[in-house]
Chains A and B, each alone.
Chain A
């Protein structure tokens, strides 16, 4: 892996299993719909995002900073060209650059409303249309959207929340042993990044191959009628808005199976997928006590959980 020597290898990240899995699933199915990572600062969120692009050399991470202006995001008139040549030319923005890649928004909940609007507009049809400053232009804009946020600093607009296929909570490692391992590896990496990366190269390679295999397997997976019915039942039971949740649930379970090297979806895939797809869609009523943690969802689903075993 050339040229990305300063990137911490994905395979060396300790813990944060859910986040890692969520990110990898988005690599298995690039059209899955992105992931929202919620958690406090210093939980390796940014490290992990940079690391997955490093894992897949054909992917790049386009960073959308919170202070980005709308022009920068959607694209604008190429001023230099206009002044030099006296004619209009479109200067693509971040949405163009991110097409086919990863669009990473750190602290996405602090994003300016105008920028969120731009993201929503592009997401509606996967096309960014620009009609401003005398420029009329549209280009495809499909990307893996990865957002991170600290929920203490405010929530995300429900409409944008709904666009994320997955959401995971990350916390600092509680276990002393793991914490020590985190620090040990970090120090080793900082002391000699090249050597550190070399050490993880075999594992990185293995992971990359696993993803490639999963991508091929995914094409052979067809969801059964029973499983589709189960996802619909989950959506109805959990009273989520719209039908995106059902579809994303199915797609996530399919990617999960493929990542495990199977073409058959098993009950665990479905349940695990539900835990990543559903929680953030159930958060629109702000004052209900306690976020929807996995236990609550398990309770709500109740009998459906045993049903899925029969379905798969």
Chain B
């Protein structure tokens, strides 16, 4: 059974023109490889992605829910059919069923990463790229289907958790939706939505003719699209823009060109203009631009380095970028590029595989100053687009590299926990728990006939015979969080030069990050003779903040005691399947002067505690709060003993934390 809710008409959405445009462009050209709408809740993202499907009534709509498992995504053996016939029958998965149709995803940011990646890359095999592990596995299972090309309409609220995972650069177009701040617009939004809610039927009727017009316009643009050509200059500019934006590979260039062609077709024109390119760049670039500071090792040669002959050679090709069918364009173009190069210039074969479309486009005259001007144009386009701001999360190092590899991911698949999302089935290991009945039945199904025939040893009243070898268990994916334990030095030395103020600021800014990441936080302060657990590990970052604000400072420095207390607080998380990755953040100047033992050496005691923490495999970060001209560097030694990542407070203050200090304390 499938239900279709009353949809709010696509054309009745107010104030999201760019998102509407992107969706319409993709409706015209499935080769644009998806539209990703990102924005805060309540900005009509879902309304739009479902609304646009109504403009393509001839296509099926496949909504991929968060609860999807790999078997449904890729297809699997039909258990029921197997029981009846004793033969293995393959049921295609959602991706196969989506081929040539439409896929919608409402909460792309919280879908398990590997599944979302599968959806995003489903069409990529066509392009002859090295198959992703899962893709290969699936294409073996998916009888005959190598790839699926479909319109992908996805929505996400990026600030719920992490900003924007890199995999989303697979999505062709990206639009960031904002809450409208325009009074008239907002009034209209509310007014229309209320009208729709009160009487959806007549509301839809009122927009019927506009909807029909849009449908016709999409159809017309689809017809016109193959005839839209890109001239060489624009091709070159597109390549330069992609280069300037620091986009790896050819994806961005190709998408830029495709988007420009589609915009042109949508506007009912056959000639493209630079305004179209600027508009296209606004959709194609923001989510795939790299930070300027990031080294780009694998980038191809810049167009300026090309030998002249090659440029003239490709002159003619550049004018005809092989529109062809909607799908496979990428592969066609690449193979065409390869073919041309083979034909005209044998020794360039290996290089041609890495030829960027810039080489394809070529420059009509090859003059240096013309290239210069194009480059500055490209820069202007890129600057006008602006980059999605990525939040730099703090990185923890683990003393045990292997452990780090496992826990570095925030999505962790595991067998045996009953929490989390069932993503796939696996052979059981160890005691049987959390049986995946669906997979078990699928395994048992083909053998039913044989087992029935040999049923003397079985109970004949049974409809189904399951043997231990059939049994599969569920693999569940848990969103693991981090448990951040702050161990803060609140001794007298911290009061000097308002160090405590700076430390509080630093912790606050870390807490902000923790809040965004939905981490658990805890707080231990040590001063005078003891360490106090001010806050056990909790999700309430607000509570941690409140405790921190009222944290008193003064007295001696029982560093070792503080560390020991921290270890005790974190240890339970190491042993238990808590789903939490513990990490300890120690803020101190390292000048220990109180020991737990009456005659102990405070510093040695601290070092020993640090070593125990390292031995326990806890990820740690030491923030050195030492200040002044003469520095003793105790905190650094402590960090070494703890195998911790080491920062000086000043380093952290340089960026966002400095602001946090000013505004919050």
Q: Which of A's residues lie within 8 Å of B, judged by CB?
A: 31, 69-71, 74, 77, 79, 82-88, 90, 109, 112-114, 117-118, 120-121, 124-140, 151-155, 157-159, 162-163, 219, 223, 225, 228-229, 231-233, 235-236, 240-247, 250-251, 286-287
CA distance A133 to B541 in the complex (A): 37
Does B547 reach chain A (CB closer than 8 Å)? no
Does B341 reach chain A (CB closer than 8 Å)? no
B87-109 interface bits toward A, Cβ cutoff 8 Å, 1 = contact, 0 = none: 00001001000000000001100
Does B364 reach chain A (CB closer than 8 Å)? no
Cβ-closest 6 pairs across A and B: A242-B42, A154-B539, A244-B42, A133-B438, A232-B186, A241-B40
Query: How many chain B residues touch A (Cβ–Cβ < 8 Å)?
Result: 79
The answer to whether B72 touches A126 (Cβ under 8 A) is: no
Instruction: List A contacts of B610 (CB < 8 A).
Output: none
Q: A88-B80, A228-B191 are in contact. Are A114 and B420 (CB under 8 A)?
A: yes
The answer to whether A242 touches B463 (Cβ under 8 A) is: no
Which of A109, A124, A232 is the one whose CB lies under 8 Å from B183? A232
The answer to whether B71 touches A134 (Cβ under 8 A) is: yes
Q: A114-B479, A152-B543, A242-B41 are in contact. Are A86 and B186 (CB under 8 A)?
A: no
The answer to whether A74 touches B179 (Cβ under 8 A) is: no
CA distance A11 to B508 in the complex (A): 46
Does B641 reach chain A (CB closer than 8 Å)? no
The answer to whether A82 touches B540 (Cβ under 8 A) is: no
11 examples of A-B residue contacts, CB within 8 angstroms: A74-B67, A109-B539, A113-B110, A131-B67, A134-B76, A154-B539, A225-B191, A236-B186, A242-B39, A244-B41, A246-B189
Q: Which of B1-9, B281-289, B627-635 contacts A (4 or more CB under 8 A)?
A: B1-9
Instruction: List B contacts of A232 (CB < 8 A).
Output: 183, 186-187, 189-190
Which of B65, B438, B441, B538 is the one whose CB lies under 8 Å from A129? B65
CA distance A303 to B285 in the complex (A): 43
The answer to whether B538 touches A82 (Cβ under 8 A) is: no
Which of B44, B50, B159 is the one whose CB lies under 8 Å from A125? B50
Instruction: List B contacts of A114 (CB < 8 A).
Output: 419-421, 479
Q: Which of B133-141, B294-302, B346-354, B511-519 contacts A (4 or more CB under 8 A)?
A: B511-519
Which of B5, B67, B542 is the one whose CB lies under 8 Å from A127? B5
B133-177 interface bits toward A, Cβ cutoff 8 Å, 1 = contact, 0 = none: 000000000000000000000010101100000000000000000
Minimum C-beta distance from A33 to chain B (A): 11
Instruction: List B contacts of A112 (CB < 8 A).
Output: 419-420
Minimum C-beta distance from A44 to chain B (A): 23
The residue on B at minimum CB distance from A150 is: B540
Does B568 reach chain A (CB closer than 8 Å)? no
Minimum C-beta distance from A19 to chain B (A): 22
List B residues 419-476 near A (Cβ within 8 Å).
Answer: 419-422, 436-439, 441-442, 448, 463-464, 466
Instruction: List A contacts of B187 (CB < 8 A).
Output: 225, 228-229, 231-232
Instruction: List A contacts of B71 (CB < 8 A).
Output: 132-134
CA distance A294 to B365 in the complex (A): 69
Instruction: List B contacts of A84 (CB < 8 A).
Output: 463-464
The answer to whether B464 touches A82 (Cβ under 8 A) is: yes
Instruction: List A contacts of B84 (CB < 8 A).
Output: 86
CA distance A244 to B190 in the complex (A): 8
The answer to whether A133 touches B183 (Cβ under 8 A) is: no
The answer to whether B76 touches A140 (Cβ under 8 A) is: no
Instruction: List A contacts of B44 (CB < 8 A).
Output: 243
The answer to whether A118 touches B67 (Cβ under 8 A) is: yes
Q: A138-B3, A158-B159, A250-B194 are in contact. Are A242 and B179 (CB under 8 A)?
A: yes
The answer to whether A286 touches B515 (Cβ under 8 A) is: yes
The answer to whether A77 touches B72 (Cβ under 8 A) is: no
The answer to whether B72 touches A134 (Cβ under 8 A) is: yes
CA distance A229 to B39 in the complex (A): 23
Does B197 reach chain A (CB closer than 8 Å)? yes
Does B127 reach chain A (CB closer than 8 Å)? no
Which of B106, B420, B539 is the one whose CB lies under 8 Å from A153? B539
CA distance A162 to B107 in the complex (A): 14
Which of B42, B76, B422 is the one whose CB lies under 8 Å from A71? B422
Does B64 reach chain A (CB closer than 8 Å)? yes
Minimum C-beta distance from A122 to chain B (A): 9
Instruction: List A contacts of B183 (CB < 8 A).
Output: 229, 232-233, 236
Q: A129-B63, A242-B42 are in contact. Are A153 and B540 (CB under 8 A)?
A: yes
Which of B73, B107, B180, B515 is the one whose CB lies under 8 Å from A121? B107
Does B216 reach chain A (CB closer than 8 Å)? no
Minimum C-beta distance from B138 to chain A (A): 15
Instruction: List A contacts of B43 (CB < 8 A).
Output: 241-243
CA distance A113 to B477 in the complex (A): 11
CA distance A77 to B472 in the complex (A): 15
Minimum C-beta distance from A242 to chain B (A): 2
The answer to whether A131 touches B107 (Cβ under 8 A) is: no
The answer to whether A82 touches B65 (Cβ under 8 A) is: no
Does B219 reach chain A (CB closer than 8 Å)? no
The residue on A at minimum CB distance from B481 is: A113
The answer to whether B186 touches A120 (Cβ under 8 A) is: no
CA distance A2 to B269 in the complex (A): 70
CA distance A131 to B62 in the complex (A): 10
CA distance A242 to B5 in the complex (A): 22
CA distance A83 to B183 in the complex (A): 59
CA distance A127 to B106 in the complex (A): 11
Instruction: List A contacts of B193 (CB < 8 A).
Output: 243, 247
CA distance A51 to B106 in the complex (A): 34
Minimum C-beta distance from B449 to chain A (A): 11
The residue on B at minimum CB distance from A134 is: B438
Q: A85-B463, A127-B3 are in contact. Are A246 and B186 (CB under 8 A)?
A: yes
Minimum C-beta distance from A101 to chain B (A): 17
Which of A137, A151, A157, A233 is the one whose CB lies under 8 Å from B160? A157
Minimum C-beta distance from A17 to chain B (A): 26
Minimum C-beta distance from A245 to chain B (A): 7
Interface centre among B65, B76, B106, B420 (most CB of A within 10 A): B65
Which of B41, B72, B198 is the one whose CB lies under 8 Å from A131? B72
Which of A121, A136, A154 is the one whose CB lies under 8 Å from B540? A154
The answer to whether A131 touches B68 (Cβ under 8 A) is: yes
Minimum C-beta distance from A52 to chain B (A): 22
Does B22 reach chain A (CB closer than 8 Å)? no
Which of B46, B179, B190 is the one whose CB lies under 8 Å from A240? B179
Does B83 reach chain A (CB closer than 8 Å)? yes
The answer to whether B541 touches A155 (Cβ under 8 A) is: yes
Which of B69, B80, B197, B515 is the one whose CB lies under 8 Å from A132? B69
Does B27 reach chain A (CB closer than 8 Å)? no
The answer to whether A243 touches B159 (Cβ under 8 A) is: no
CA distance A77 to B67 in the complex (A): 13
The answer to whether A77 touches B437 (Cβ under 8 A) is: yes
The residue on B at minimum CB distance from A291 is: B542
Instruction: List A contacts of B1 (CB < 8 A).
Output: 90, 137-139
